Amino acid sequence: MQEKYIDETKQGEAFAIAERPENSKKLFLESYGCQMNFSDSEIVASILNEQGYNTTMKVEEADLILLNTCSIREKAEQTVRMRLSQFKNLKKEKPNMTVGVLGCMAERLKTKFLEEEQLVDLVVGPDAYRDLPNLLKETDDGRDAINVILSKEETYADINPVRLGGNGVTAFVTITRGCDNMCTFCVVPFTRGRERSRDPHSIIDECKDLANSGYKEITLLGQNVDSYLWYGGGPKKDFAKASEMQKATAVNFAQLLDLVAKAIPEMRIRFSTSNPQDMSLDVFRMMAKHDNICKYVHLPVQSGSNNMLEAMNRQHTREEYLELIRKAKEIVPEVAFSQDMIVGFCNETEEDHQDTLSLMKEVEYDYGYMFAYSERPGTPAHKKMEDNIPADVKQRRLAEVIALQGELSRKRMVSYVGRVHQILIEGISKKNKNQWKGRNSQNAVCVFDKLEGQKIGDIVDVFVYDNTQGTLLGRITE
């Protein structure tokens, strides 16, 4: 479980599913960025599967190329633009081929895409995927098509996502869309719109369907799962206007966890992403109550400095965050945490940076996602603050954060040695085909020798006898 430093130049991932013999057209669908984007791609594939498209891994045979994009950092957008440039020759060879951009980058740049990227025919925002069949008719008639309207209602609750790629063992289930937090550095509220929650009955139905299909673990997914609140539909911000009956029967995230855990007792449950100001101790109490809820929380903090947290509009203080961690560990002693951290935000001082390092030491994160701040057009920070930390200072501070997380990760990995862990077998080790790989409840990766009789999807007891920096080494107990 080594520290995570995201390579934003990485090419997206393309997946394909079993073909429908009656479908005659080919879709090449590539996803970038967060888990929400990959989950959205499954919704898109499901919609287009009904429109006569089979997915393909070969871009040269595609009738339709779609890139589901990320706008969280500048490098992510540069990667997509570079990828689009690779399609220019293919477009000349196949002039009837349609190229489209989906997701957050589509929403942020809108018509600029059609103007700047001459080969793009289709621009579709995260709330407009139902409109894809109509938009494709527009492109078939030779017109560019765009729909980036953000919705206050859309959750795609009635669409059964096609499962792209994957291992047939773990799956994502989206429970919220959008975000209301308005962190000053973040573009997500502007690209994904207002926060709204999905009907809990549809969530439970999807989880049961996955269980019946042989899946063994689900991750409840959203930009901010802790603020899940179902009161009959609509944005969370309008909950104050709900009727007394709606308020009395509303379902929050802790209650949803309880419902899901009871509905699929044989499946493991994870969730991501959490936000400190919305995280309730009731969530940890549910984690303690149900064995099938994994003892791991991704809890982004972004900085250990109150000055920076205020400038970022994070809506929690350093002290409140540390108190939440302390109480959580009292309720669930074996819980593991990971972090998101931004270094070099506007006006960050050396003292602010040291506050980040000291908070990391106090929490003892298992791992983290760490970045140097990059200004995003349209955000409050871009409009009102100066990106005034020199690049070399950002890189030095980032290196120090990464190095410290490496030490903390190694320490946490050592703490798992000498114990028996329940490991869900997710696949074969990349380094040794005679070994299985899987994760424990705390999300630590473990490899161990295959024994006769096991298969992918089994949960087995594994004694961990050693570790590397990022992996537990174990053997199955008799």
Question: In the chain, what are the domain boundaries?
Answer: 8-147, 170-415, 417-476
Q: Tell me the pLDDT of the chain averaged across its residues.
A: 90
**Confidence band (pLDDT; 50, 70, 90) for 47?**
very high
Binding residues: 34, 70, 104, 179, 183, 186
User: Cis (ω within 30 of 0) for the bond into 273?
Assistant: yes
**Confidence band (pLDDT; 50, 70, 90) for 8?**
very low
Binding residues for [4Fe-4S] cluster: 34, 70, 104, 179, 183, 186
Percent of the chain's residues with pLDDT above 90: 65
Q: Are 147 and 101 a contacting pair, CB within 8 Å? A: no
Q: Are 101 and 122 a contacting pair, CB within 8 Å? A: yes
Between 21 and 419, where is the model more confident?
A: 419
**Confidence band (pLDDT; 50, 70, 90) for 79?**
confident
| Region label for 416, one of left (φ > 0), alpha (ψ between -120 and 50) or beta (otherwise) | alpha
Distance of alpha carbon 288 from alpha carbon 285, whole angstroms: 5
Quick: pLDDT tens for 84-112: 888 888 988 888 899 999 988 888 888 87
User: How much is the pLDDT for 80?
Assistant: 87
Quick: pLDDT tens for 391-404: 999 999 999 999 99
pLDDT at 3 over 70: no
| 120-154: burial string, b at 16+ Cβ within 10 Å, e else | bbbbbbbbbbbbbeebbebbeeeeebbbbebbeeb
pLDDT at 212 over 60: yes
Question: What is the bridge-based pairing of β-strands 435-439 and 268-272?
Answer: unpaired
Quick: pLDDT tens for 443-463: 999 999 999 889 999 999 999
Distance of alpha carbon 211 from alpha carbon 233, whole angstroms: 26
Quick: pLDDT tens for 358-392: 999 999 999 999 999 999 888 999 999 999 999 99
3-state secondary structure of 23: coil
**Confidence band (pLDDT; 50, 70, 90) for 4?**
very low
Reported pTM: 0.85
Q: Are 69 and 80 a contacting pair, CB within 8 Å? A: yes
